[in-house]
């Protein structure tokens, strides 16, 4: 049997601390969510609404690093249950036999090594929140048990007979492939519907170009507050941030900024090379990192027209910054100007 350490490291329990800590968490519940895109603002609106419905199960869907746990905590700490425990467990990180007793608990003697009774997290979350992270990895054998617990609002510990009432709210998180896992039968459809009472989709960072700037500046300010040296991004750094695909989403962005702050120690300007993402961008294939695509109709298209579209798309990427766009296209700025579409819309959030 794996050590209990492995189990505990996957379970973050007992946020319940001092009243002061609780008050702070509550006040900041959704203030930690940075971003101006309509998709992230809509997600916060939905989360705020559902936070008020104390028992409603929530399903958070998004790629890794899109803020699922941040939202789960936001919902908990802005709800009436804020003073009750927030308990998180990662369904992918714990072996099946341990996961079962973590969730449902066990009686003494339920299995070899069960030398004491143990309460499950569904019980321990009390009137608070149980966050089931990576719920799509919940082993098939445990899925009907969780469904039963959600429907009857009762659990029986392993090896026990007593029905124990559960009062917590369940917030589940899954990757965008969840529906596919349901379609293949690996995840029970009935449990999926039971969890999917109120779902909130957190879009990938690459689809929220305006958030990339805002979040990057936020993290940069955080980094430099500690080091007492204000820093800014150069236009080519902003362009590089916008063109990157961000498979690790906001978590990856945070790490990139932290590293860039260190690498740019001697200068107040973070340039593209400090981000160390340029190389990966260059190597990526077509369609991987893009703000749009150029289509050639069956009747063909004039090269000049294709160039104009390419310039317009690149300018979109650089937020209207012509110097950065010229650099990305490998041409001079005057050449770029000549190839610019008659009236290129200019974003209002970035000026060169
Ligand atoms: N919109 C956002 N604003 C600020 N920080 C964010 C945002 N989304 C995610 N983060 C941060 O990114 C990291 C990963 O978020 P997390 O909630 O753990 O993602 P997930 O659970 O989806 O993998 C955390 O440090 C989190 O605080
Ligand atoms: Mg997570």
The per-residue DSSP string of 76-132 comes to HHTSGGGGS-EEEEETTTS-HHHHHHHHHEE-TTSSTT--S-EE-HHHHTTTSEEEE
Q: Is the CB of 73 under 6 A from ligand 1?
A: no
From 166, 184, 203, the end of a domain falls on 203
pLDDT beyond 50 at 29: yes
Residues 6+ apart with CB under 8 A from 319: 209, 213, 238, 239, 242, 347, 349, 350
172 and 43 assigned to the same domain: yes
* Residue 83 C-beta-side C-alpha neighbours within 13 Å: 5
For residue 5, what pLDDT band results from cuts at 50, 70 and 90?
very low
Give the number of the atom of ligand 1 that is nearest the alpha carbon of residue 71.
Answer: 17
265 and 345 assigned to the same domain: no
272 and 129 assigned to the same domain: no
Please state, in angstroms and rounded to a whole number, the distance separating the CA atoms of residues 236 and 321. 9
Q: How many CB atoms lie within 10 A of CB 33?
A: 19
Digit-coded pLDDT (tens) for 170-222: 999 999 999 999 999 999 999 999 999 999 999 999 999 999 999 999 999 99
Q: What is the CATH number of the domain that holds 226?
A: 1.10.8.60
Digit-coded pLDDT (tens) for 271-298: 999 999 855 444 444 444 557 778 888 7
Instruction: Please give the distance, rounded to the nearest whole angstrom, from the Cα atom of residue 300 to the centre of ligand 1.
Output: 45
215 and 131 assigned to the same domain: no
Give the number of the atom of ligand 1 that is nearest the alpha carbon of residue 69.
Answer: 17
pLDDT score recorded for residue 34: 96
pLDDT score recorded for residue 27: 54
User: What residues pack around ion ligand 2 (CB closer than 5 A)?
Assistant: 69
From 203, 226, 259, the end of a domain falls on 203
Give the number of the atom of ligand 1 that is nearest the alpha carbon of residue 218.
Answer: 4
73 and 165 assigned to the same domain: yes
211 and 279 assigned to the same domain: yes
Closest to 11 in 3D by CA, of 97, 177, 112, 132: 132
Is-above-0.75 flag for pTM?
Answer: yes
Cβ atoms of residues 182 and 189 within 8 Å: yes
Which domain range does residue 151 map to? 4-203
Residue whose token pair is 């932290």: 258
**Domain total in the chain:** 3
180 and 97 assigned to the same domain: yes
Closest to 139 in 3D by CA, of 193, 92, 90: 92
Q: Is the CB of 251 under 6 A from ligand 1?
A: yes
Instruction: Please give the distance, rounded to the nearest whole angstrom, from the Cα atom of residue 32 to the centre of ligand 1.
Output: 9
227 and 158 assigned to the same domain: no
10 and 36 assigned to the same domain: yes
Best probe residue, ligand 1, of 247, 251, 252, 254 (max atoms within 8 Å of C-beta): 251
Mean pLDDT of all residues belonging to the chain: 85
């Amino acid at each position: 049997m794996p050590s209990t350490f492995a189990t505990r490291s996957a379970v973050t329990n007992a946020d319940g601390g001092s009243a002061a800590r609780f008050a702070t968490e509550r006040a900041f519940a959704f203030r930690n969510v940075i971003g101006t895109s309509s998709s992230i603002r809509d997600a916060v609106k939905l989360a705020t609404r559902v936070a008020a419905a104390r028992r409603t199960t929530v399903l958070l869907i998004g790629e890794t690093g899109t803020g699922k746990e941040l939202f789960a905590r936001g919902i908990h700490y802005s709800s009436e249950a804020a003073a009750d425990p927030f308990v998180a467990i990662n369904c992918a990180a714990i072996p099946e036999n341990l996961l079962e007793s973590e969730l449902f608990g066990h009686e003494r003697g339920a299995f070899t090594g069960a030398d004491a009774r143990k309460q499950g997290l569904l019980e321990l979350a009390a009137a608070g929140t149980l966050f089931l992270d990576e719920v799509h990895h919940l082993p098939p054998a445990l899925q009907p048990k969780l469904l039963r617990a959600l429907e009857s609002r009762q659990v029986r510990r392993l090896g026990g007979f007593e029905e124990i009432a559960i009062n917590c709210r369940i917030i589940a998180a899954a990757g965008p492939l969840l529906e596919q896992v349901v379609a293949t039968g690996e995840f029970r459809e009935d449990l999926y519907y039971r969890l999917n009472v109120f779902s909130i989709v957190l879009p990938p960072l690459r689809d929220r170009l305006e958030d990339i700037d805002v979040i990057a500046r936020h993290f940069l300010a955080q980094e430099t507050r500690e080091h007492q040296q204000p820093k800014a991004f150069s236009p080519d750094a902003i362009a590089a941030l916008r063109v990157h695909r961000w498979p690790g989403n906001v978590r990856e962005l945070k790490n990139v900024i932290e590293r860039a702050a260190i690498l740019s120690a001697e200068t107040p300007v973070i340039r593209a090379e400090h981000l160390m993402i340029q190389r990966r961008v260059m190597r990526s294939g077509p369609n991987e990192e893009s703000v749009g695509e150029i289509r050639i109709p069956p009747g063909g298209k004039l090269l000049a027209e294709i160039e104009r579209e390419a310039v317009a798309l690149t300018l979109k990427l650089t937020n209207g910054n012509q110097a950065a766009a010229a650099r990305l296209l490998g041409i001079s700025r005057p050449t770029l100007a000549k190839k610019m579409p008659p009236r290129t819309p200019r974003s209002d959030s970035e000026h060169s």
